[in-house]
Amino acid sequence: MPQSYWDALVDRQLGFSGFSRELHQAIRDTRAAVIGAGGNGAVLDLLVRAGFMRFVIIDGDRVEATNLNRLPFDQQSVGMPKTEAWKRHLLAINPECDIALHTRYIKGDSAAWLREALQGVHLVFLGATDVEANIVAGRLCAQAGIRMIVGPASSGSLIVSTFRHDDGLTVEKMGCFGTEGTPLEDIDYPALREIYARALTFPGRKKNLEEETWNAVLQGRMPARSCGFFVRLTNAAMAFEAVKNVAEMHGLPLKNTRVTAMPLVQIFDPWTGGAYVFDAASARVGVPDPISGEICWKEHPL
């Protein structure tokens, strides 16, 4: 019989290729920070069930009724700070979890407190939809060398990648914002909204939204679209990407797979059933061979 909730949670993961006891212990010891506890933040539900139990949760929002289509909460959670609702949910699954909450928004002047909040963090999940929060958090993670997993759940597809931050690639460079040399508090964030939306584009994304909706979201006139189908796909990819990163950071073998690192992005389009890799730097599309894992690349105009 398992001797703790954590033992029970990971018991049936043992035996999958590469999922060793050493890997599970490394997962247990990993401190994960989730920035933006909405759709992308729902990765928390899968992380705790996979054996992660040390969390930092950052979000200034409260739970709304519209959140219930993709978050594992109920009507009693509506009106609660998302951070508090997540803490209650995680402890209901594993009461041994260590959870730090920061119920506040990330702004251009947030560097001091956010840097402190990220002390001791090994992995960051960037789930904010706001360009300001993404740039600020992305820069601090790059400066601290903290790996950051991204996966915009509003894409209508499974999409995930990792910023390793050991190769000079950052959110600002990949987004072509031109802000790298500007102090965070001096950046004109509203002017970057459309650039940010375009930076999240990949082959096939635009067709997932009606044109009028796409333009409204692009211009900031409408909140990003989201629902449980696509959120769960991305959450699952982000959680597995976390497992791969933990294995790599600890020098542990994880067979038959590898970390998907920027500028590569792993994508699955549920509309067509197509799975591919997108090189965000060269705009090439690669289709992996399911047997060898080798990728066949071709040019693809966005």
> Per the structure block, which two tokens stand in for 5?
């909730």
Q: Which of 286, 258, 163, 97 is nearest to 277 (CA)?
A: 286
Q: Which of 88, 87, 95 is nearest to 4 (CA)?
A: 95
- pLDDT at position 275 over 80: yes
Q: pLDDT tens digits for 35-72?
A: 999 888 899 999 999 999 999 999 999 999 998 989 89
Cα Rg, the chain, nearest whole Å: 19
Q: What is the DSSP string of 94-160?
A: -TT-EEEEE-S---TT-HHHHHHHTTT--EEEE----HHHHHHHHHHHHHHT-EEEE--GGGSSEEE
Mean pLDDT of 27-31: 97
Q: At what angle do helices 43-50 and 228-249 cross, to 10 degrees?
A: 40
Per-residue confidence at 1, pLDDT binned at 50, 70, 90? very low
pLDDT of residue 256: 86
pLDDT of residue 103: 97
What's the rounded Cα separation, in Å, for the pair 160 and 170? 15
Per-residue confidence at 266, pLDDT binned at 50, 70, 90? very high
pLDDT of residue 247: 97
Average pLDDT, the chain: 90
Q: pLDDT tens digits for 164-209?
A: 998 889 999 988 899 999 999 999 998 888 787 776 677 776 677 7
End-to-end CA distance of the chain: 53
Query: What are the sequence ranges of the domains in the chain?
Result: 5-257
What is the model's pTM? 0.92
The percent of residues in the chain predicted with pLDDT above 90, rounded, is 63
Domain range 5-257, its CATH number among 1.10.3720.10, 3.40.640.10, 3.40.50.720, 3.90.1300.10: 3.40.50.720
